[in-house]
């Protein structure tokens, strides 16, 4: 018999993954061109040619013993140095190679840092709406998730944020640009958050860390820039993934960055290396480490997603839907016209539109549309959305 908690997880399922599968089954039945699958954050632009060239060149010219052998748990020293220098060039930070740990994507980075930080029963704040897997990651390490309410602009409500801090709070996960809302956290939000965390540290002597989950860092629109969190709060640990910026989600590659000013810096890095090993990641895939290190200057295809964003936002708004205009990432949230997101997801499915309900993101009443698809899919889906709007009587 499997464990009780896994049985429950299977029964509850990942809504996102279940819809992704359903979409593929439906596509096999009625043709991919007739399914409007907006469920999964799977990049819709190919990895850059530079990545392909790096893989081929490495396979052809590197010593296979070095290229495919165990690396230090933290990763190749030259790769870690390259990542640190790239961050410094872009953000004026002062990372050294030793402050970087290469990970098996951001999901690995988050599990590793949570394992490193959490004593059983300690609390992690999640700002609604949030990526649904965070709760699982926290539970893996016997932590407790605590939700912080959003403002109407989908920023964290700072009064609620402060109220939710207890003697057991160990960290807060910040995700900007945000999945699922597409919001970028404002200067005021982050200054306020940092002020509260510093004040609490002084009052209680307990340091609360920010874990900044940044897979969408490069995907920002309208000339916005995404804030660099360590500039606001020194005790910020960055969890990054190359999944979205280089379109490599299947390759599982990312990193943790722990700045010199992070409290308990040395022990944190040693602990994270141990956690990477004992959790079974061991080291980030070695060939892929070397390949991404050669692609750090490759730009993300922002124009592609921006075009989709405009098409979708304008199309849906015209049909009478209430949408939150995304500032970054490739997700758009729509209010479920009746207020019931699960029902809205079911109705949409009748028109072969696959969406994800907001409840799992801590955002009931909304659905998430992942617009990392072809622009053509968006255009073709609008008549289906129109039927859906008519069903709800909003157009």
Cα–Cα distances in Å, from 372 out to 37, 294, 307? 10, 25, 11
Of the two residues 219 and 316, which places its CB atom closer to a copy of itself in the complex? 219
| Shortest Å distance, C-beta 2 to a copy of itself | 4
> The tokens 């599990």 sit on which residue?
111
| Shortest Å distance, C-beta 263 to a copy of itself | 7
| Shortest Å distance, C-beta 286 to a copy of itself | 3
> The tokens 């464990």 sit on which residue?
3
Classify residue 3 by burial, with Cβ atoms within 10 Å: 0-12, 13-18, 19+.
exposed
| Shortest Å distance, C-beta 393 to a copy of itself | 37
Of the two residues 111 and 381, which places its CB atom closer to a copy of itself in the complex? 111
Of the two residues 122 and 341, which places its CB atom closer to a copy of itself in the complex? 122
> The tokens 């956290």 sit on which residue?
185
Give yes or no for a contact between 224 and 184, defined as CB atoms under 8 angstroms apart: yes
Of the two residues 374 and 379, which places its CB atom closer to a copy of itself in the complex? 374
Closest CA to 385 of 339, 352, 340, 342: 352
Of the two residues 67 and 234, which places its CB atom closer to a copy of itself in the complex? 67
Of the two residues 24 and 149, which places its CB atom closer to a copy of itself in the complex? 24
| Shortest Å distance, C-beta 27 to a copy of itself | 14
| Shortest Å distance, C-beta 321 to a copy of itself | 27
Of the two residues 284 and 324, which places its CB atom closer to a copy of itself in the complex? 284
Of the two residues 76 and 228, which places its CB atom closer to a copy of itself in the complex? 76
Give yes or no for a contact between 258 and 84, defined as CB atoms under 8 angstroms apart: no
| Shortest Å distance, C-beta 246 to a copy of itself | 8
| Shortest Å distance, C-beta 3 to a copy of itself | 5
Of the two residues 153 and 376, which places its CB atom closer to a copy of itself in the complex? 376
| Shortest Å distance, C-beta 343 to a copy of itself | 26
Q: Which residues of 135-164 are buried (b: 16+ CB within 10 A; e: fewer)?
A: bebbeebebbbbebebeeebbbbbebbbeb
């Amino acid at each position: 018999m499997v464990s009780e908690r896994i049985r429950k997880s299977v029964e509850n399922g990942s809504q996102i993954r279940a819809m992704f599968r359903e979409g593929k089954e439906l596509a096999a039945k009625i043709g991919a061109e007739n399914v409007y699958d907006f469920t999964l954050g799977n990049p819709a632009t190919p990895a850059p040619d530079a990545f392909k060239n790096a893989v081929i060149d490495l396979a052809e010219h590197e010593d296979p013993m070095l290229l495919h052998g165990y690396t230090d748990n933290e990763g190749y020293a030259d790769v870690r140095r390259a990542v640190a220098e790239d961050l410094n060039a872009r953000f004026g930070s002062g990372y050294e190679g030793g402050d970087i740990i290469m990970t098996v994507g951001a999901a690995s980075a988050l599990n590793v840092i949570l394992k490193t930080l959490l004593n059983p029963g300690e609390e992690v704040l999640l700002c609604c709406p949030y990526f649904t897997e965070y709760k699982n990651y926290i539970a893996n390490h016997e932590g407790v998730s605590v939700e912080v309410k959003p403002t109407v602009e989908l920023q964290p409500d700072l009064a609620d944020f402060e109220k939710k801090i207890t003697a057991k709070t160990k960290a807060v996960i910040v995700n900007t640009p945000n999945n699922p809302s597409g919001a970028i956290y404002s200067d005021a939000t982050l200054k306020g958050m940092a002020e509260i965390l510093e004040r609490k540290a002084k009052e209680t002597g307990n340091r609360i860390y920010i874990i900044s989950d940044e897979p969408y860092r490069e995907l920002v629109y309208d000339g916005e820039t995404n804030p660099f969190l360590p500039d606001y709060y020194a005790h910020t640990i960055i969890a990054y993934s190359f999944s979205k910026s280089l379109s490599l989600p299947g390759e599982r590659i990312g990193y943790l960055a722990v700045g010199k000013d992070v409290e308990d810096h040395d022990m944190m890095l040693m602990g994270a290396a141990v956690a990477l090993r004992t959790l079974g990641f061991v080291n980030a895939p070695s060939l892929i480490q070397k390949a991404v290190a050669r692609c750090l200057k490759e730009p993300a295809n922002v124009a592609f997603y921006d075009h989709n964003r405009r098409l979708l936002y304008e199309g849906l708004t015209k049909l009478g839907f209430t949408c939150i205009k995304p500032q970054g990432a490739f997700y758009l949230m729509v209010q479920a016209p009746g207020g019931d997101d699960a029902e809205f997801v079911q109705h949409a499915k009748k028109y072969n539109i696959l969406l994800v309900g907001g409840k799992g993101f801590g955002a009931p009443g909304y659905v998430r549309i992942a617009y990392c698809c072809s622009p053509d899919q968006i255009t073709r889906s609008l008549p289906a959305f129109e039927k859906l709007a008519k069903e709800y009587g909003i157009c």
